[in-house]
Amino acid sequence: MAVVEQLLRSEEDGTLSFGNHALAHKAKLEDYEHGGDVYKVKTFSTMTKLEKNGMFLYESVPGTSVNRFSETDSGVSFAVEGAADAQLTLGLGDDTEYEVFVAGNSVGTMKTGLGGKLSISVELCGMGEVEVKVVEA
């Protein structure tokens, strides 16, 4: 998997790819239309953030490159890559329990609060692409 040179792109399968963890300086792309929604991405080596229709959807510290990001009513799935281990924060449903899978293995269930945010630590250093799937339990 490589960084997303366009910062944000629609894939043929209907998913999104975004972020560029290799950038030394901040870059952003606003008003990107995909599937009837409007997205905004900010990315560089220390942070990647994605918003959908003005609402928080994804953030990583440090920055990451994300491919095949898919959002459904029951959760999200994507492949993530970065230069270092990352803390991912996802915007999901309020007060909902989710099962989290990293690299095909369940890491347990987690519950969001009223803000709908869920945080996951993912080992990325030297791992290449890591699959993440979060589904409503």
- Per domain, the residue ranges of the chain are 8-136
Mean pLDDT of 66-86: 95
Neighbours of 87 (CB within 10 A): 12
Mean pLDDT of 9-38: 95
Tell whether domain 8-136 is in CATH 1.10.3470.
no
Asked if the model's pLDDT at residue 49 lies above 90, the reply is: yes
Q: Given this model, what pLDDT does residue 11 score?
A: 95
Q: Given this model, what pLDDT does residue 3 score?
A: 63
Q: Given this model, what pLDDT does residue 1 score?
A: 47
Q: Given this model, what pLDDT does residue 2 score?
A: 59
